[in-house]
Amino acid sequence: MVNEQEFLAGYDPRAYPAVAVTVDVVALTIRDGELQVLLIQRAAPPFAGFWALPGGFVRPEEDIAVAARREFAEETGLGGEPLRRVHFEQLASYGTPDRDPRMRIFSIAYLAFAPDLPEPSAGSDAGDAEWLAVTALPTRELAFDHRKIVDDGLERARSKLEYTPLATRFVGEEFTIADLREVYETVWGHPLHAGNFHRKVLSVPGLVEGTGATTEHGGPRGGPRARLYRAGDANLLHPALLRPAREETVR
Amino acid sequence: MVNEQEFLAGYDPRAYPAVAVTVDVVALTIRDGELQVLLIQRAAPPFAGFWALPGGFVRPEEDIAVAARREFAEETGLGGEPLRRVHFEQLASYGTPDRDPRMRIFSIAYLAFAPDLPEPSAGSDAGDAEWLAVTALPTRELAFDHRKIVDDGLERARSKLEYTPLATRFVGEEFTIADLREVYETVWGHPLHAGNFHRKVLSVPGLVEGTGATTEHGGPRGGPRARLYRAGDANLLHPALLRPAREETVR
DNA sequence: CGGGGTTATTCTCATCCTGAGTTATTCTTA
DNA sequence: TAAGAATAACTCAGGATGAGAATAACCCCG
């Protein structure tokens, strides 16, 4: 039997069938009171002209998570501190043999949560980029299996709001309880009881901490000035902020 | 601009640097009242002689999930109905550039839950295979980044017991409430209140359904015959069966 | 064969959390 | 200045949880 050195010296990677690995990013933000996902229009085949998730090949010496951040930054033009405030997490991997007509391509999907972002600037390999309301997804055909990836990302996002403080990633540095409630209502897609939500947010340790300040003015249609809060230091919410169970999802 | 056909005809996969994709399986079972993970001893370099997760290269036309089941079946010798009762789910993907000395290898990890399984039969490419108690993991150095993968799998398993009926995958077709409680205690690593657990399991809709039968005998050290149950039809537990929050994990 | 130890199952009870509704107060707009 | 709207706080009933105890069935040992 050969030892490790001899083995590696005689090892030929080219002996294996070619496969490739890409990252795709499901980037979510809240704009105009709607949950929106970042899409780019493909300029080159395959699926030229179709809308797709931002993503691309992982570079030879690049870590996957770094690749995901790079692809996101390229499409949004974001960098520096604003980019650091964006939360990234691995979502899942997709590798059905025929998901890409070129060759066997595995995609490692990432999920990104970002506060209200400006209109995206198109990257070099994208014909166009835009934020699309997730409610409009059913009318838009996406490239590859990206519809499935987006659906998985949305379910992950809805679920993560329950037991993590990720909702604070959708709002600015300072926010009101109503801002936070709007995030939950938008992502979950139904209204919440304002009073109960308020009580709950303040009772969960480490979710938010008060700044002592209030908003400059009341709401656009009246109401008192709201107190401002910052994200707290909790990583997990306990007790969790559960969305009402829908009978369909249980069985 | 070329159309899709012309593009694909002129496409050369060999133009890209070689990468490979493997699956690794974190297979968990409960044997002798302990949570155990399936490991194989590597026969060939790299990491020859080290213990590692069962896994291997995804075949050219093979789906990832199929590859995970195949690798698991090869190492355990399991097939047919017993194999169908094993739950598989994708865990996460690992692709740090230097995680494998041979080349850039991405690993897509799967998590498997199985009821009490027999001693594994060694596969063709494994020097040996064994179930190792997870409590013994700290004393055993694993190949590649498999320690991290196992840790992620264990956390996923503990978390999934809370809100899904997966605990029923660790016991046989018919089981007692005490069997189920032992699963939770073993995976979570601390004792539960028998009375409260009993009440909770029976109150969650769709978790279990009674068979009408009882065990043949009482427990080995006494006690009445216990009623037998089957897994119910729920996919999600509501309300969830939460493990007591540990302060460390929250912040 | 009888008693002690063990375990399944059911109850009790105090406490906490949740959903729903109400009230006081502050602020904007007409 | 009055009406409308939103924040924040309070009330109350019902459900869920944690802790402890009671009851009854069953095993093993002496």
pLDDT tens column, B110-151: 999 998 777 765 444 445 899 999 999 999 999 999 999 999
> Would you call A15 an interface residue with chain B, using a CB distance cutoff of 8 Å?
no
Residue by residue, pLDDT tens for chain A (251 residues) are 445 555 444 445 445 678 999 999 999 999 989 999 999 999 889 999 999 999 999 999 999 999 999 999 998 888 888 899 999 999 999 999 999 999 999 999 999 999 877 776 545 444 589 999 999 999 999 999 999 999 999 999 999 999 999 999 999 999 999 999 999 999 999 999 999 999 999 999 999 999 999 999 887 888 899 999 999 999 999 999 999 877 666 66
- Asked which of B85, B111, B144 is the last residue of a domain, the reply is B144
What digits encode the pLDDT tens for the residues B38-69? 999 998 899 999 999 999 999 999 999 999 99
Q: Which residue has the higher pLDDT, A79 or B188?
A: B188
Both A81 and A172 in a single domain?
Answer: no
Q: Tell whether A13 is covered by a domain.
A: no
Given the structure tokens 């496409």, which residue do they identify?
B11
Chain A contact set for B127 (CB, 8 A): none
Q: Tell whether B149 is covered by a domain.
A: no
Both B198 and B167 in a single domain?
Answer: yes
Q: Measure, in angstroms, how far nucleotide C2 C1' is from residue B179 CA.
A: 31
Residue B2: which of A21, A45, A57 has the nearest Cβ? A45
Residue A103: which of B13, B63, B249 has the nearest Cβ? B13
| CB-based burial label for B134 (10 Å; 0-12, 13-18, 19+) | buried
B246 touches strand D (CB under 7 A): no
Q: Tell whether A12 is covered by a domain.
A: no
Both B29 and B140 in a single domain?
Answer: yes
Q: What's the whole-model pTM score?
A: 0.92
Q: Measure, in angstroms, how far nucleotide D1 C1' is from residue A213 CA.
A: 30
Q: Which nucleotides of chain D does any protein CB come within 7 A of? A: 3-11, 16-22, 24-28
Q: Tell whether A156 is covered by a domain.
A: no
B196 touches strand D (CB under 7 A): yes
How far is Cα B82 from Cα B117, in angstroms, rounded to an integer?
A: 9
- Domain, as residue range, for B235: 163-250
Both B29 and B123 in a single domain?
Answer: yes
CB A188 within 8 A of CB A249: no
Residue A108: which of B4, B93, B245 has the nearest Cβ? B93
Helices (H), B121-251: 146-163, 177-188, 194-203, 247-250
Burial annotation B32-42 (CB, 10 A radius, 16+ → b, else e): eeebbbbbbbb
What's the CATH number where B116 sits? 3.90.79.10
Residue A168, number of CB atoms within 10 A of its CB: 23
CB B87 within 8 A of CB B115: no
User: How far, CA to CA in Å, does B56 sit from each of B74, B83, B123, B226?
Assistant: 11, 19, 12, 43
B248 CB-near residues (< 8 Å, 6+ apart)? none
Q: Measure, in angstroms, how far nucleotide C15 C1' is from residue B222 CA.
A: 34
Instruction: Name the β-bridge partners of B26.
Output: B111
**What is the pLDDT averaged over residues B76-96?**
93
Protein residue at shortest CA distance from C1' of C30: A221
CB A39 within 8 A of CB A139: no
Q: Closest nucleotide to A182's CA, by C1' atom?
A: D6
pLDDT of residue A66: 98
Tell me whether strands B51-52 and B34-42 are parallel, antiparallel or unpaired: antiparallel
Closest residue, chain B, to A234 (C-alpha): B251
Both A180 and A245 in a single domain?
Answer: yes
Q: Measure, in angstroms, how far nucleotide D18 C1' is from residue B107 CA.
A: 43
**Run of H or E residues at B110:** strand B104-113
> Would you call A61 an interface residue with chain B, using a CB distance cutoff of 8 Å?
yes
Both B123 and B177 in a single domain?
Answer: no
Q: Tell whether A38 is covered by a domain.
A: yes
* Type of residue found at B10: G
Residue B19: which of A2, A21, A102 has the nearest Cβ? A21
Alpha-carbon radius of gyration of chain A:
21
How far is Cα B51 from Cα B34, in angstroms, rounded to an integer?
A: 19
Q: Measure, in angstroms, how far nucleotide C26 C1' is from residue B183 CA.
A: 55
- Asked which of B92, B114, B144 is the last residue of a domain, the reply is B144
Report helix, strand or coil for B245: coil
- Asked which of B144, B179, B205 is the last residue of a domain, the reply is B144
CB A86 within 8 A of CB A54: no
Both B24 and B132 in a single domain?
Answer: yes
> Would you call A211 an interface residue with chain B, using a CB distance cutoff of 8 Å?
no
Both B107 and B213 in a single domain?
Answer: no
CB A51 within 8 A of CB A140: yes
pLDDT of residue B218: 86
pLDDT of residue A245: 72
Q: Closest nucleotide to A195's CA, by C1' atom?
A: D8
Number of domains into which chain A is organized: 2
Contact B101 A238 (CB under 8 A): no
B199 touches strand D (CB under 7 A): yes
> Would you call B15 an interface residue with chain A, using a CB distance cutoff of 8 Å?
no
Both B101 and B203 in a single domain?
Answer: no
| Eight-class DSSP state of B75 | H
CA A78 from chain centre, in angstroms, equals 15
* Residue A176 Cα, gap to closest chain B Cα (Å): 22
> Would you call B235 an interface residue with chain A, using a CB distance cutoff of 8 Å?
yes
Both A24 and A140 in a single domain?
Answer: yes
Q: Would you tell me the crossing angle of helices A146-163 and A177-188 to the nearest 10 degrees?
A: 140
Asked, as a colleague might, if the bond just before B224 is cis with ω within 30 of 0, I would say: no
Residue A48: which of B4, B17, B60 has the nearest Cβ? B4
Q: Measure, in angstroms, how far nucleotide C14 C1' is from residue B185 CA.
A: 26
